[in-house]
């Protein structure tokens, strides 16, 4: 991914959390493009190229997906399950970014092949550091096949 524009997909229904993620990624220059979806169905429509997102030219594949668990219309675990069932999508790193520390949620996410599960820190500084480290790891240091 060295040298190419970095595209992060954010699926988050809490607008305050979404703005914090976007601002942090932009401030740390981690992503060149961030596309935000506020519900699971819209994210799936984009990824599966359905409805208004049918054109492959206008729906590039993200390099990473940040996915909340509690989403309207289709919950995060169902979005994750559908991503990981699609041959053309399953290699995209999906990182759960949620407030839930429940063991059941963690286990279900890994049962559905999540790449990482992160609990959102409460403080801004901790959250900013998490986003910075996350970006460098998944988009800088980690090596994965071209999607």
CB atoms within 10 A of CB 52: 11
Do 120 and 10 form a contact (C-beta atoms < 8 A)? no
pLDDT number for residue 5: 72
pLDDT number for residue 130: 83
Low pLDDT (below 50) residues in the chain: 1
Q: Look at residue 124 and tell me if it is in a domain.
A: yes
Percent residues over pLDDT 70 in the chain: 87
11-44 burial, b if ≥16 CB within 10 A, otherwise e?
bbbeeebbebbbebbeebebbeebbbbbbbbbbb
CA 88 to chain centre: 16
CA 102 to chain centre: 19
pLDDT number for residue 30: 65
Q: Look at residue 1 and tell me if it is in a domain.
A: no
Q: Look at residue 147 and tell me if it is in a domain.
A: no
Q: Cα separation of 125 and 111, whole Å?
A: 31
pLDDT number for residue 142: 63
Judged by DSSP in three states, 64 sits in strand
Q: Look at residue 14 and tell me if it is in a domain.
A: yes
Q: Look at residue 2 and tell me if it is in a domain.
A: no
Pairing between strand 94-98 and 64-67? parallel
Q: Cα separation of 146 and 118, whole Å?
A: 24
Structure-token pair, residue 3: 């040298």
Q: Look at residue 58 and tell me if it is in a domain.
A: yes
We report the CATH number of the domain holding residue 12 as 3.40.50.2300
pTM score, whole prediction = 0.88
pLDDT number for residue 71: 95
Q: Look at residue 122 and tell me if it is in a domain.
A: yes
pLDDT number for residue 145: 63
CB atoms within 10 A of CB 90: 12
Number of domains in the chain: 1
Structural domain containing residue 75? 7-141
pLDDT number for residue 1: 46
């Amino acid at each position: 991914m060295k040298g190419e524009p970095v595209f992060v997909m954010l699926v988050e229904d809490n607008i305050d959390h979404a703005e914090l993620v976007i601002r942090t990624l932009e401030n740390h220059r981690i992503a060149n493009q961030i596309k935000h979806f506020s519900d699971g169905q819209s994210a799936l429509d984009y990824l599966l190229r359905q409805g208004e997102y049918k054109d492959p030219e206008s729906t590039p594949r993200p390099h990473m997906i940040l996915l909340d668990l509690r989403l309207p219309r289709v919950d995060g675990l169902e979005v994750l399950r559908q991503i990981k069932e699609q041959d053309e999508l399953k290699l995209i790193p999906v990182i759960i970014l949620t407030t839930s520390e429940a063991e059941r949620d963690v286990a279900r996410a890994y049962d559905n092949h999540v790449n990482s599960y992160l609990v959102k820190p409460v403080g801004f500084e901790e959250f900013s550091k998490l986003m910075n480290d996350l970006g460098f790891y998944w988009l800088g240091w980690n090596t994965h096949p071209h999607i």
